[in-house]
Amino acid sequence: MDETTRSALAELNSAFYVVFAGDFARTRRGWPLGFERILPHLRPAANVLDVGCGNGRLLTFLTERGWRGRYLGVDGSAGLLAAAEKDIELGLARISADANVHDRRSSAPEGVRTETLFRLADLRSPQWTATLGGCAPDAIACLAVLHHIPGAAHRARLVVECAGLLAPGGTLIVSVWQFLGTPRLRARILPWSTVGLSNEDVDPGDYLLSWGEGAAGNRYCAAIDEETLCTLTTRAGLVTVETFYADGHEGNLGLYGIFRATAR
């Protein structure tokens, strides 16, 4: 894939979220079952970085499960971050109500950071880590993000950057969409001519998928299997702790990987 095509695919996905951020966020207010499986790896973390945080549903999930710590979510969509701010405010208010916290000056239970931060950052740019203020997270979540990064070299770069941010012994949790194993999602695959490209323009394993009622939008997605994911993380210097499949009606819509940085 040449740089012109890669940039066009990246812009295609960016344009999708400009138009559909609100609608997309409304479909992401619950959480998949895989979140319960990754919770034991996140619960001990005092400092979590959520890469490609979308509407911030991971933070809502963590706080509702009793996690208390420092959180930073970064995403390239201003629309999704606006939804995140709104959803988290509503979520923390609900937690406060459950905890019988009625003082309007203290809208979250003890230990939940009311100054939770979401930052706009283009994950396609090598400079995105400069926006983080030198944080060294105990855990990084990169959930349903990697398959939307065009170009194998750029996906590898993102994994290396995440690995480099981790504190010694820290954990990277990645999930990637397994759309090829699901007939209902395979039916959403569109020809590349839909966006003025051909099969020769893209890499093997690259797909264009429709989204929404009436196929209103479309996005670039890369098919990433378990071997590819583990190769990416191993080359980034991480050790595989666990991989598993979860989510969707079939129970295998997401491939999750838990990876650990070695103590330096």
Per-position DSSP letters for 100-124, written without gaps between them = T---TT--S-TT--TT-EEEE--TT
Q: How far apart are CA 74 and CA 70, in angstroms?
A: 14
pLDDT in tens, 164-197: 999 899 999 999 999 999 898 999 999 999 999 9
Handedness of CA 152, 156, 157, 161 (dihedral sign): positive
Rounded percentage of the chain residues whose pLDDT exceeds 70: 89
Is the model's pLDDT at 95 over the cut of 50? no
pLDDT at 108: 42
Q: Is the pLDDT of residue 5 over 50?
A: yes
Give the largest Cα separation in the chain, rounded.
Answer: 61
pLDDT at position 116 is 55
Q: Are strands 254-261 and 238-246 parallel, antiparallel or unpaired?
A: antiparallel
What pLDDT does 74 receive?
94
Percentage of the residues of the chain whose pLDDT score is greater than 90: 63
The pLDDT-based confidence of 29 (bands split at 50, 70, 90) is: confident
How far is the C-alpha of 35 from the C-alpha of 246, rounded, in Å? 9
> What count of other Cβ atoms lies within 10 Å of the Cβ of residue 183?
8
Lowest-confidence pick of 116-120, 135-139, 157-161: 116-120
Per residue in 203-235, pLDDT (tens digit) is: 999 999 998 777 789 999 999 999 999 999 999
List domains and CATH numbers for the chain.
Answer: 3-180+224-261 (3.40.50.150)
Q: What is the mean pLDDT of residues 61-69?
A: 90
Give me the mean pLDDT over the 63-86 stretch.
Answer: 90
Report the distance separating Cα 84 and Cα 206, nearest Å. Answer: 29
User: Does the structure show a pLDDT above 60 at 113?
Assistant: no
pLDDT at 138: 93
Asked if residue 251 has pLDDT above 50, the reply is yes
Min mean pLDDT across 23-32, 64-73, 77-86 is at: 23-32
What's the chain's average pLDDT? 87
Mean of the pLDDT values across residues 131-141?
86
